[in-house]
Amino acid sequence: MVLLAALSFVNSRFLKLPATIGILIGGLILAGGVAVLESLGVALAGQIQATVTSLPFGTLVFDWLLGLLLFASAIQINVRLLFEERLTVVAVTLLTTLITLLLIGTGTFYLLNWAGIPLSWAAALLFGAIIAPTDPVAALPLLKAAGVPEKVEALIAGESLFNDGVGVVAFAVLVGLLSPTAGGVTLPAVLLLFGREMLGGLLLGTLLGGAAFTFIHRAALDENTRLTITLALVVGGNALAQQLEVSAPITAVMSGLTLVALLQLIRKKSEIKAQSNSRVAQWKTENQGTLDDIQDHLYTFWGFVDYLLNAALFTLMAFEILSLQIGWALLALVPGVIVLGLVARALGVWLPMTLIARREHFPPYTRRLMVWSGLRGGVTLALAFTVPEGELRNTLLVLSYGVVIFSLLVQGLTIPRLARRATAASEAEAA
């Protein structure tokens, strides 16, 4: 916690970068210092490196951090706009993620085998599943800061939130194909697993979000109890999703969206009743606060949780680089993999956006912004860290780290400028 506070202060006082990116840079510098000291034989540095290596990064992210972060991101979205664009978001999420996965997998297969690093088709597609999911945790604050129109923000945010679930399910299927007992895996079994994970997560998240809304709205509770209910919703929902073998990321996203949608719906109904001299004032008194207060406290609390867990996640990401065995042969392939990822993302976005162009109108810069804001972050690294131990795991980790660091430092730092220029140019053309 002291380290998080120190990195946050240095970024706020000196670097003045977006919080997650500034903390990542500070963490990478510290990790580099630890590596240098360890090579000089400093005992403390060796202990730090051993501790970092022993951390179960993938478990920490999937079992604890990811659900909380996705929920915090979901409640910030304009649910009304997301619902209006629901078919577009579903189409873009499924097609973009699967196309990107296939293109990255195919390109990686040929690139690594050409470089003399043996890689099977299943392992190459596994890497595609690792890189395909984008990171809403990193992208959403940057889009908000750039003043992107809400309709475009809802599309990008919705796709980014839900493609995590699609990517995680695809990853689980491909890990199964790589296992020694994969001989019995069939297409119907894969489709059944995919449907159960996705549809089950959607249903469970909706039910849990509705239950949490009932407790928050109906009972006369104090604010601390309301916030505790939301924490229980996310932590309990994550555990329940794992027990039921449905997608925990999708469950977290849907529970957040459902809760906020119901709060906004009842708020609108209350405003209509208030205009007709209803007993809304009495309702507010009985529930110890207005609906505005409930939502404001919800956003404030989860905004802090989001910031704190982001800081922890990006600090862990920086220090986990100490656990890698980095060779020059792998480093030389990183630029090629980065270009491959950008091209795959561009093609993955282009096809579904072209298909929906006839029924949905988005500003002309939307595709460019979707491609460049497709950041890779904690989900990508968590997936890579859950690959079974072996040479393949280290290869995929090094390549994943290269993509993530480029994505966050280069794309992340230029998203606000790109968004402002694109929106300004679009407004000038419209005028």
**Residue 282: its pLDDT value, please?**
54
- For the CA atoms of 33, 36, 38, 41, the dihedral, rounded to the nearest 10 degrees, stands at -130
**Residue 429: its pLDDT value, please?**
64
CB neighbourhood size of 303 (10 A)? 14
**415 contacts 372 by C-beta, under 8 angstroms:** yes
The Cα–Cα gap between 405 and 174 comes to 25
The Cα–Cα gap between 95 and 163 comes to 10
**Residue 86: its pLDDT value, please?**
87
Q: How much of the chain exceeds pLDDT 90, in percent?
A: 37
Structural domains of the chain in order of their starting residue, each with its CATH number: 2-430 (1.20.1530.20)
CB neighbourhood size of 65 (10 A)? 20
Classify each residue of 215-248 as buried b or exposed e, where b means 16 or more C-beta atoms within 10 Å of its C-beta: ebbeeebeeeebbebbeebbbebbeebeebebbb
Q: Which of 130, 128, 110, 132 is nearest to 119 (CA)?
A: 110
The Cα–Cα gap between 404 and 414 comes to 15
Burial of 263 (0-12, 13-18, 19+ CB in 10 A): buried
In one letter, which amino acid is 206?
A: T
Structure tokens given for 420: 């402002």
| Average pLDDT, rounded, for the chain | 86
The Cα–Cα gap between 356 and 95 comes to 12
The Cα–Cα gap between 344 and 96 comes to 9
The Cα–Cα gap between 408 and 64 comes to 22
**Residue 408: its pLDDT value, please?**
92
Q: Which of 77, 127, 79 is nearest to 102 (CA)?
A: 127
- Per-residue pLDDT tens for 126-155? 999 999 998 876 777 777 777 788 888 889
The Cα–Cα gap between 319 and 302 comes to 25
Structure tokens given for 246: 């449905």
**194 contacts 250 by C-beta, under 8 angstroms:** no
DSSP element (H, E) containing 228: helix 223-244
**Which residues make Cβ contacts (< 8 Å) with residue 51, sequence separation at least 6?**
none
3-class DSSP string for 149-184: CHHHHHHHHHHHHHHHHHHHHHHHHHHHHHCCCHHH
**Which residues make Cβ contacts (< 8 Å) with residue 410, sequence separation at least 6?**
none
Between 150-154, 279-283, 356-360, 385-389, the lowest mean confidence (pLDDT) is in: 279-283
- Per-residue pLDDT tens for 199-252? 999 999 999 999 999 998 776 567 888 899 999 999 999 999 999 999 999 999
DSSP 247-312: -HHHHHHHHHHHHHHHHHHHHHHHHHHHHTT-SHHHHHHHTTS-HHHHHHHHHHHHHHHHHHHHHH
**Residue 290: its pLDDT value, please?**
60
Of the ranges 116-120, 218-222, 285-289, 336-340, which is most confident?
336-340
Between 23-37, 122-136, 188-202, 333-347, the lowest mean confidence (pLDDT) is in: 188-202
Q: In which residue are the tokens 């990478």 written?
A: 28
- Per-residue pLDDT tens for 239-289? 999 999 999 999 999 999 999 999 888 877 766 665 665 555 554 544 445
DSSP 8-state code for residue 63: I
Q: What angle do CA 25, 59, 196 make, to 5 degrees?
A: 120
- Per-residue pLDDT tens for 41-100? 888 888 888 888 888 888 888 888 889 999 998 998 888 888 888 888 988 999 999 999
**Which residues make Cβ contacts (< 8 Å) with residue 125, sequence separation at least 6?**
101, 102, 105, 174
* Average pLDDT of span 367-382: 90
- Per-residue pLDDT tens for 410-421? 999 998 888 888
* Average pLDDT of span 285-299: 65
